[in-house]
Amino acid sequence: MMEKRTVRVAAVQIAPDLDSADGTVERVCRAVADAAAQGAALVVFPETFVPYYPYFSFVRPPVLAGADHLRLYERAVVVPGPVTEAVAAAARAHGVVVVLGVNERDHGSLYNTQLVFDADGRLVLKRRKITPTYHERMIWGQGDGAGLTVVDTAAGRVGALACWEHYNPLARYALMAQHEEIHVAQFPGSLVGQIFADQIEVTIRHHALESGCFVVNATGWLTDDQIQSITPDAALQKALRGGCMTAIVSPEGNHVVPPLTSGEGILVADLDMTLITKRKRMMDSVGHYARPELLSLHLDNRPAAPMTTTVTAAVPPAAAPSPQAEADHDHAQLLQLAR
């Protein structure tokens, strides 16, 4: 009989503060406290939640988006920095694992970044979305394979992908091959409409089945006032509604609790970790169901760098000949001439 292990998790669907990065961080810390008060060991937030997802880039052409893009630079998160210190302190104070999506600023570039804080406040993973999608390519740079890493946390082995990275089967397989127990998915929410919510649900349920792991997914939410502040165009406002599917899915592909598809709230569920073995007994896609001699994945997990340097060892100067050596050399030359 397997020993039962239960992990309580929380997926947060709330609105950011579109006017203040500090305001969004305060909302994050309050939600961490609320989830911890309900006994959660893992708390998941939406994609690029701090300071906010760049909704403007979806409804505004690039020629009109410059001011909003620069404002996002000003409010973006430097890692490490004040934002990571605040979230780390919240994770440590409440003894919970926190997964937070941020817009990360690295000098002149922004990245869609997922941060995993362990229950002691340590930042155990910083990964960047490997390929921004469609309009996002005007906003963020590309990540690298270094972030395709599963980390051990107080809640279990955690892997993470953002949004349409879930449509990259090799990226998902890289995490599956590292035996993730809890997969964290993050999507923006309040985007595209019902079709987006439907697609998210199909995607995360399939990954749970294929990986044999739990999936905790968080999507964002925008209020009507926030939508109107992003665009006054009523037709475009329709593109900023719907698309929410905050959900917790078991290794058998089932919702552990009913998903949250509108409004703000925190979804909480208990994960029976024995279901992982129950699923993998039947189908372990990176174990007995794999055929690595036929099909395998190569991952380049080196961090990308714009410059590398090669240190050339200095060649020591030739030592000056000793007086005896000079004398021997001269004597040899005289003998040569005498011949």
Which residues have a catalytic role annotated?
47, 129, 163
Contact 90, 97 (CB under 8 A): no
Coil, strand or helix at 321? coil
Work out the widest C-alpha separation in the chain, in whole angstroms: 107
Within 10 A of 295 (CB to CB), how many other CB atoms are there? 8
Burial (CB count <10 Å: 0-12, 13-18, 19+), residue 331? exposed
Using the structure block, give the residue that is written with the tokens 């719907």. Answer: 242
Tokens, residue 326: 């000079």
Within 10 A of 288 (CB to CB), how many other CB atoms are there? 10
Cα separation, 84 vs 102, whole angstroms: 10
Contact 207, 217 (CB under 8 A): no
Contact 103, 51 (CB under 8 A): yes
Cα separation, 112 vs 128, whole angstroms: 6
Tokens, residue 268: 């909480």
Beta bridge partners of 186: 162, 218
Cα separation, 184 vs 192, whole angstroms: 22
Helix (H) or strand (E) holding 30: helix 21-37
